[in-house]
Amino acid sequence: MDRILAETYPDAATELDFTNAFECLVVTVISAQTTDRRVNAASPALFAAYPTPEAMAAAPREHMEQLLGPLGFFRQKTDALLKLSQALVDTFGGEVPSRLEDLVTLPGVGRKTANVVRGEAFGLPGITVDTHFGRLARRFGWTEETDPVKVEHAVGALFPKRDWTPLSQHLIWHGRRRCHAKKPACGACPIARLCPSFGLGPTDPIEAEKLVTTQGPA
């Protein structure tokens, strides 16, 4: 199934824009409860003003809230970034750590965010269990677990570590484009013959094709 998804989405990668590990960490944290497109629209001004942990830790709260306003929950996200940046300065010398056990000590950083940073910024293996990944892993019959950490471990046991990061990207892209939560495009799915949940959505190819999107949510 993963090989077919890899062929279907050869360009699968994170849809958040960043140029270094710090930016990767920040955009991942502020992407909660909003869309990647909105984050990508807001982040250039954010990083132009505060390009380093040191600069962001000293940022005026009011200005940060203004920059993050379009994303929603801007007060909480401002608080998270101020605390996160200060922790990077105080504990890690202004550098983003690559170890999972270090990343999850940072304010606002859980295993999902830590695995994104490890995979995307450092090229290290990590499974990113977002809502799409968890939903598809259960639909595919890979696990019955609902807790993200248990899903991560269950699916991780099925694949070699070298495949963990691209596997995450394949499932997230498939979940955004075809295997939707409420109405999956079953009739236009490249792994339909292998999927135990085939039939949850329209099986007619023409009807299913209408549900396929070419990109993630706006």
pLDDT (tens digit, 9 = 90+) per residue, 162-182? 999 999 999 999 999 999 999
Domain 127-209 has CATH 1.10.1670.10: yes
Q: How many angstroms separate the CA atoms of 172 and 13, rounded? A: 9
Considering the chain, what is the average pLDDT of its residues? 95
Q: Kindly name the residue from 83, 130, 161, 210 that is annotated as catalytic.
A: 130
* pLDDT on residue 218: 41
**What is the percentage of the chain residues whose pLDDT exceeds 90?**
93
Tokens at residue 130, please?
């977002």
CB atoms within 10 A of CB 52: 15
pLDDT at 215: 65
Q: 214 or 39: whose pLDDT is higher?
A: 39
pLDDT of residue 33: 87
pLDDT tens-digit profile of 77-101?
A: 999 999 999 999 999 999 999 999 9
Question: 190 burial class (0-12, 13-18, 19+ CB within 10 angstroms)?
Answer: middle
pLDDT tens string 138-162: 999 999 999 999 999 999 999 999 9
In angstroms, rounded to a whole number, what is the distance separating the alpha carbons of residues 28 and 22?
A: 10
Residue 216 has pLDDT above 60, yes or no: no
Angle formed at CA 214 by CA 211 and CA 215, multiple of 5 degrees: 110
pLDDT band per the 50, 70, 90 thresholds, residue 136: very high
Given a cut of 50, is residue 40 above it in pLDDT? Answer: yes
Reported as a pLDDT band with limits 50, 70 and 90, residue 32 is confident
Q: Report the distance separating Cα 34 and Cα 56, nearest Å.
A: 21
Domain 21-121, CATH homologous superfamily name and number: Hypothetical protein; domain 2 (1.10.340.30)
Q: Which residues contact 51 (CB under 8 A, 6 or more apart)?
A: none
Domain extent listing, the chain: 21-121, 127-209
**112 is an active site residue:** yes
Kindly name the residue from 79, 83, 112, 210 that is annotated as catalytic. 112
Buried b (16+ CB within 10 A) or exposed e, 103-139: beebebbebbbbbbbbbbbbebbbbbbbebbbbbbeb
Model confidence pLDDT, tens digit, residues 57-83: 999 999 999 999 999 899 999 999 999
108 vs 3, residue with greater confidence: 3
Residues 6+ apart with CB under 8 A from 53: 22, 85, 86, 88, 89, 94, 96
User: For a pLDDT cut of 70, what percent of the chain falls above it?
Assistant: 98
Tell me, yes or no, if 79 is annotated catalytic.
Answer: no
